[in-house]
Amino acid sequence: MGISYDASVPSPADKLVVERLRVRKGKNAILNGVSLTVRGGEILALIGPAGSGKTTFLRCLNRLIDLEPELAVEGRLRLDGLDVYGEGVDVPSLRRRIGMVFAVPNPLPMSIRDNLTLGLRILGAAAAGPPSERIERSLKAAYLWDEVKDRLDDSALKLSGGQQQRLCLARSLMAGPELLLLDEPCSGLDPISTAKIEEALQGLKSRISVVLVTNNVKQASRCSDRTAFLLMGDLVEMGETGLIFTNPQNRRTADYVSGRFG
Amino acid sequence: MSRRAAESAIEAVIRVSASLAIVGLVLIFVFIGKEALPVLLSQEVRQEAGLSRLFLPQSPEPSEPKEFAWQPISAIPKYSLLPLLTGTIKATVVALLFALPLALGAAVFSSEFAPSWLREIIKPSIELLAGIPSVVLGFFALMVMATYIQDLLGLDYRLNAINAGIALGLAVIPIVFTVAEDALTAVPQSYREGSIALGATPWQTAWRVVLPAAFPGIFAACVLGFGRAIGETMIVLMASGNAAVLSLSPTDPLRTLSATIAAELGEVVHGSPHYHVLFFIGTLLFLFTFATNLLGQAFVERLKQRLSGSRL
Amino acid sequence: MSRRWINRITFLFMGLTGLACATVILLVALILGHIAYHGVHHLSWEFLTTAPRAGMTEGGIFPAIFGTVFLVLLMTIAVVPLGVCTAVYLQEYAPAGSKLVHAVRLAIQNLAGVPAIVFGLFGLGFFIEFAGRSVDRLFYGGQLHFGQPAILWAALTMALLTLPTVVVATEEALRVVPRGHREAAYALGATRWQMVRYVLLPQATGGILTGTILAVSRGAGEVAPILFTGAAYYLPELPRRLNHQFMELGYHVYVMATQSPDVDATKPILYATVFVLLTLTFLLNFSAVVLRARIRRRLAEGR
């Protein structure tokens, strides 16, 4: 399964197909049969008030939800045709194809360089290209290269919050993922770091598909190509970002994007 | 080896290692019990050292009165456990009488009254005490304390229950202190603040609010201390005189169950009734400390539940 | 109750508990001071590096120091991997609430409460009589090699005794690692073992070391388990093989104090030996405490 870092022109075919995804904790439903598709080379924003199941949805995509055995997951997920929840799926391999950036930056207590190469060490076999080239490319893609290029061996914990989050973004890009998941990556970050991350996403989208969960409606309208609105576990509406914000079909969508509730 | 196979192999190794703890505990019981069984089952061992001989008074000669005597090495071997049991209990009682007031008092003082700088002196001191090997405590009791106590109280015997008991108490203090102090500091500050706000003094708060709340933990501390005292060997071996006499007086020497094993296992003939009785004693000790341990843990659990509100 | 009475009782209560505290501290100081006072002046380089002579009234205790170190080394090799694996299992591999987890935890807690002499009995009944004799039958055609008191069996007995210490310390260290670190590793495609190896164990090293030091301290101080599993009072040679017996500091103190024919002549050596033993365990405990404090401080500021 060769993952080439420089993927060629993305196909317009669907990258990820989600069919009737349902997640339950005991009797409570967290997701009620959500179905959507993620296209290749697009940024899909997932918006909705807190508790709607956006994070849960995201964690289903790379099966991080497996870490919570009390949740029951049903439905079909296909990544490039591969049934994510199928029999005999090698979950670690799956996760290597998908990058994830968490809401709270979680750099590991090691040097910047070690943080970045962790993914390669996990891959084991010598991945294509010498590490230092990849490090530079990932850091540039995350708009962090200039700030840390002279101190790659410093501890990652010395960076500011915004820098740490960009480091986490660079880290997730090191193994050349096809799909990038971001869970409210800019919550709590200063506006400059936020802007840099949004720029980074724009730069990435030609090569990778991006699913961006965000609490910030304005960020969704700035960054994404399409937007999906999740409310209390239901997918209420989904479509071209421009249309969702200017002319939503559903009244609840209109209420949410205009800030009448949130 | 493929990655998946390597991962499974590592997981197997980890699982097996973890089970070794259980295996070890079970093995201890099995192998000690195995050598103790002849006391219950083997005809020839029971003749000399069966349960009735261990626990009921025996008359060495038909004409002589019944007595409880432990003299395994004599013309007519006597295997009564009573002198050893009373010795164990005597030493433990003295130890607890000495240790509990000191340890509990110190724990209350440390958690309720002492300023934090003082606490920084108290806790390390207790840890120092905990770090003293029991053989050193036994040494101290044997060489120094025994003479001192004998002079102080004008006793006949230098090595006796009081000497051993106090040294044993010293070994028990750290455990009781640590568990009790943990229990007391686990009581939320809000309990104390509520009490003070109602006008109570610190001692009233401690006595009426904190201690009752922490009671399960304090009880656990006492139980664990008790268990430790019962099982301790080196101190009594060195400081108690090692005389297996049945006496209730604290000024007489004594012999405990654990010290008996230590003192006699070295010279015993493998497979003899004496050998099996010693293992029998070991099994008793094992079961007893197992039970006290479970009891202590049950009470610590209760404390946690009480403080988290799930039980009163 | 009148205010004056209340104040009096407060004072009394505080006074009594404070007195209890002071008494304990005083006793500790007394014991340590007494031993230091009587033990220090006999210490010398010769004492630490030569063997005993003339029925333990002259010479040094080097063989006992050597034996103690050798014993503790073997014990550590056995107990640390076992303890770390057990802790990793309990924290990472066990399905939450499974019966095996409960049983292992219970076993660890109860192992911690078993009297030391019972371990000694186990060492005799299992390691020497069963394992040792089996080894002799299988590999030495029945000749007595391992079916007798030996430093190997004493070390394994000690390892079982100190297992709970290592497990508890390691579990604590693993528990403190934030969840986000684990998730970051998993999201990068790590298998569970890779996550443990690259993320958890490096961060838990301090705690594991603390547990090891505490185990070593206990191993150097406990005498009851080695009474019948391999310790000896006087040996002409140092133990060079795993099936040799060994001299040991604590055991030496015990025998010298209780069975020496001439108490006064051996007193200086006895006190000095006790002093060496105390210093050893004290240094070990102290370094464990310092290490633990440093870890706590780093946790408080780093995260």
**Residues in contact with C240: Cβ distance below 8 Å, sequence separation at least 6, in sequence order:** none
A5 confidence band (pLDDT: 50, 70, 90):
very low
Could you give the ipTM of this predicted complex?
Answer: 0.89
Radius of gyration of chain A measured on its C-alpha atoms = 18
Other CB atoms within 10 Å distance of the CB of residue B47 = 10
Q: Take residue B151 and report the two structure tokens written for it.
A: 């002079």
Write down the mean pLDDT value for chain C: 89
Other CB atoms within 10 Å distance of the CB of residue A127 = 19
Question: Looking at residue A244, what is its pLDDT?
Answer: 87
C-alpha distances in Å from residue B65, one per residue of B56, B59, B69:
13, 6, 12
Interface probe, candidates C31, C194, C256, chain B, greatest B C-beta count within 10 A: C31
State the nearest Cα–Cα gap between B245 and chain C, in angstroms: 20
Per the rule left: phi > 0, alpha: psi between -120 and 50, beta: everything else, C150 is beta
Residue B144 · residue C34 · CB < 8 Å? yes
* β-strands A43-47, A71-79 pairing: unpaired
Question: Looking at residue A4, what is its pLDDT?
Answer: 31
Q: Which CATH number belongs to the domain containing residue C199 in this structure?
A: 1.10.3720.10
State the nearest Cα–Cα gap between B66 and chain C, in angstroms: 32
Q: C248 or A7: which carries more pLDDT confidence?
A: C248
- Secondary structure (3-state) at B47: helix
Residue C302 · residue A157 · CB < 8 Å? yes
Question: Looking at residue B312, what is its pLDDT?
Answer: 56
In angstroms, the CA A260 to CA B2 distance is 55
The phi and psi torsions of C246 (rounded to 5 degrees) equal -150, 155
In angstroms, the CA A181 to CA C58 distance is 75
Question: Looking at residue C160, what is its pLDDT?
Answer: 94
Q: Which chain C residues have a beta carbon less than 8 Å from that of B279?
A: 121, 125
Interface probe, candidates C110, C167, C217, C280, chain B, greatest B C-beta count within 10 A: C110
| Full residue range of the structural domain in which residue C20 is found | 1-40
Other CB atoms within 10 Å distance of the CB of residue B200 = 17
**Residue A157 per-residue DSSP state:** G
Q: Could you report the per-residue pLDDT of A44-98, keeping only the tens digit for each?
A: 999 999 889 999 999 999 999 999 888 999 999 999 888 999 888 889 989 999 9
Question: Looking at residue C79, what is its pLDDT?
Answer: 95
Question: Looking at residue A6, what is its pLDDT?
Answer: 35
Q: Is any Cβ of chain C less than 8 angstroms from the Cβ of A108?
A: yes
DSSP C260-287: -S-HHHHHHHHHHHHHHHHHHHHHHHHH
Q: Which chain A residues have a beta carbon less than 8 Å from that of C178?
A: 106
Nearest to C239 by CA among C125, C73, C77: C73
Residue A209 · residue A179 · CB < 8 Å? yes
Contact A104 C198 (CB under 8 A): no
Question: Looking at residue B311, what is its pLDDT?
Answer: 60
Contact C187 A64 (CB under 8 A): yes
209-228 in chain A: CB under 8 A from chain C: none
Model's pTM, two decimal places? 0.87
Examine the pLDDT at A1 and tell me if it is beyond 50. Answer: no
Question: Looking at residue B57, what is its pLDDT?
Answer: 76
**Residues in contact with A217: Cβ distance below 8 Å, sequence separation at least 6, in sequence order:** A47, A256, A257, A259, A262
Helix (H) or strand (E) holding A215: none
**Residues in contact with C94: Cβ distance below 8 Å, sequence separation at least 6, in sequence order:** B18, C100, C101, C104
Q: Where are the alpha helices (DSSP H) in chain A?
A: 54-61, 91-97, 112-123, 131-141, 145-148, 161-173, 191-204, 217-223, 241-246, 251-257
Q: Take residue A156 and report the two structure tokens written for it.
A: 């990652």
Contact C186 A64 (CB under 8 A): yes
One pLDDT digit (tens) per residue for chain C, 303 residues: 577 777 788 888 888 989 999 999 999 999 999 999 998 888 888 888 888 877 777 778 899 999 999 999 999 999 999 999 999 999 988 887 788 888 888 888 888 889 999 999 999 989 998 899 899 888 888 888 888 899 999 999 999 999 999 999 999 999 989 999 999 999 999 999 999 999 999 999 989 999 999 999 999 999 999 999 999 888 888 888 888 999 999 999 999 998 887 778 888 889 999 999 999 999 999 998 899 888 888 877 654
- Secondary structure (3-state) at A230: strand
In angstroms, the CA A36 to CA A16 distance is 8
C-alpha distances in Å from residue A101, one per residue of A92, A173, A233:
17, 10, 22
Q: Which chain B residues have a beta carbon less than 8 Å from that of C114?
A: 25, 28, 231, 286, 289-290
Which residue shows structure tokens 């002579």?
Answer: C53
State the nearest Cα–Cα gap between C302 and chain A, in angstroms: 8
Statement to judge: residues C82 and C13 lie in one domain: no
CB pairs under 8 A between B and C: 253
Residue C151 · residue C74 · CB < 8 Å? yes
Statement to judge: residues C33 and C54 lie in one domain: no
Statement to judge: residues C117 and C243 lie in one domain: yes
Question: Looking at residue A248, what is its pLDDT?
Answer: 87
Question: Looking at residue C55, what is its pLDDT?
Answer: 72
Interface probe, candidates A66, A108, A184, chain C, greatest C C-beta count within 10 A: A108
In angstroms, the CA A86 to CA B191 distance is 53
Helix (H) or strand (E) holding B78: strand B78-79
Q: Is any Cβ of chain A less than 8 angstroms from the Cβ of C46?
A: no
State the nearest Cα–Cα gap between B293 and chain C, in angstroms: 6
State the nearest Cα–Cα gap between C64 and chain B, in angstroms: 15
For residue A244, how far is the Cα from the chain centroid? 21
Q: Take residue B196 and report the two structure tokens written for it.
A: 């003070």
Other CB atoms within 10 Å distance of the CB of residue C143 = 10
Q: What is the mean pLDDT of residues A123-136?
A: 72
In angstroms, the CA C301 to CA C296 distance is 9
Maximum distance among all alpha carbons in chain C?
86
DSSP chain C: --HHHHHHHHHHHHHHHHHHHHHHHHHHHHHHHHHHHHHHTT--HHHHHS-EETTTTEE--HHHHHHHHHHHHHHHHHHHHHHHHHHHIIIIISPTT-HHHHHHHHHHHHHTTS-HHHHHHHIIIIIIIIIIHHHHHHHSTT-SSSSS--HHHHHHHHHHHHHHHHHHHHHHHHHTS-HHHHHHHHHTT--HHHHIIIIIHHHHHHHHHHHHHHHHHHHHH--GGGTTTTB-S--SS---STTS-B--HHHHHHHHHHH-S-HHHHHHHHHHHHHHHHHHHHHHHHHHHHHHHHHHHHHHHH-
Statement to judge: residues C20 and C135 lie in one domain: no
Q: Is any Cβ of chain C less than 8 angstroms from the Cβ of A117?
A: no
Q: Is any Cβ of chain A less than 8 angstroms from the Cβ of C198?
A: yes
Q: Take residue C126 and report the two structure tokens written for it.
A: 């299992």
Statement to judge: residues C189 and C242 lie in one domain: yes
Parse chain B into domains and list their residue ranges. Answer: 78-308
Contact A99 C302 (CB under 8 A): no
Nearest to A142 by CA among A156, A127, A162: A162
Burial class (CB in 10 A: 0-12, 13-18, 19+), B46: middle
CATH of span B78-308: 1.10.3720.10
Statement to judge: residues C151 and C285 lie in one domain: yes
The 10 Å CB-count burial string (b at 16+, else e) for C225-249 is bbbbbbbbbebeeebeeebbbbbbb
Write down the mean pLDDT value for chain A: 87
**Residues in contact with B148: Cβ distance below 8 Å, sequence separation at least 6, in sequence order:** none
For residue A113, how far is the Cα from the chain centroid? 22
In angstroms, the CA C86 to CA C95 distance is 14
Other CB atoms within 10 Å distance of the CB of residue A69 = 9
Question: Looking at residue A9, what is its pLDDT?
Answer: 40
Q: For chain C, how many structural domains are there in total?
A: 2
Say what percent of chain A tops pLDDT 90.
Answer: 50
- Secondary structure (3-state) at A73: strand
- Residue A122 has its nearest CB partner, among C95, C188, C203, at C188
Q: Which chain C residues have a beta carbon less than 8 Å from that of B24?
A: 107, 111, 160, 163
Question: Looking at residue A8, what is its pLDDT?
Answer: 36
Helix (H) or strand (E) holding A186: none
For residue C278, how far is the Cα from the chain centroid? 13
Contact C17 B132 (CB under 8 A): no
Which residue shows structure tokens 């197992």?
Answer: B290
- Residue A106 has its nearest CB partner, among C180, C202, C203, at C180
In angstroms, the CA C176 to CA A90 distance is 29
**Residues in contact with A180: Cβ distance below 8 Å, sequence separation at least 6, in sequence order:** A98, A99, A100, A101, A172, A173, A204, A208, A209, A210, A211
Low-confidence ranges of chain B (pLDDT < 70): 1, 310-312
**Domains defined along chain A, listed by start:** 14-257 (3.40.50.300)
- Secondary structure (3-state) at A81: coil
Q: Which chains are within 8 Å of C by 3+ CB pairs?
A: A, B
Question: Looking at residue B66, what is its pLDDT?
Answer: 74
